[in-house]
Amino acid sequence: MFPLEGFYHYGIVASDFDKTIEELSENLGLEWASVTEFEMICEQPNGIVTADMKVVYSTTGPPHFEVIRVAPGTVWGEADLGVHHLGYWTENLQEDHQRLTEAGYVWEACYHNPETDGPYGFTYHTLSNTRLRLELVDIGRKPAFDNWMAGGDFPTAMEPGGMQN
């Protein structure tokens, strides 16, 4: 089971990326890492999709705030609904994915890696009744995340320390 102390971010999906960052900065005093844009190939229940991503995390925290530009047709396809997800580090993505699925959380997405069987890098699950959405992120990604928070570049999924199985 992933520990509650593994909670590290609130995820927000925004239709107006820049305005959302400005609002959070002005009202909560948040400061930000470098904004990054990239394409991400994801597995979802409806198949493999490519998401045009624009992402930033607050360097203020933990907990951090993650702002994601809306990406239609993906798990990030609905914007401006408040907190989109709660992000947790997990030491065993495969086991926690299975546990949440068996507990009734609906699996929504993970990074697509054709060389792995099962979720890779991260996974999203949502409870049917409350719509509480959790993002589990492989703890192997944390060193690259910490480097980004310290002013480094955003880690790509396949670079060492980016996402590991």
Domain locations in the chain?
9-149
| Local confidence band at 2 (pLDDT 50, 70, 90 cut-offs) | low
Indicate the class that CATH gives domain 9-149: alpha beta
- pLDDT tens digits for range 75-87: 999 999 999 999 9
DSSP the chain: ---GGGEEEEEEEESSHHHHHHHHHHHH---B---EEEEEEEEETTEEEEEEEEEEEBSS-SSEEEEEE--TTSTT---SSSEEEEEEEES-HHHHHHHHHHTTEEEEEEE--TTSSS-BSEEEEEETTT--EEEEEEGGGHHHHHHHHTT-PPPPTTSTTSS--
Mean pLDDT within 132-146: 91
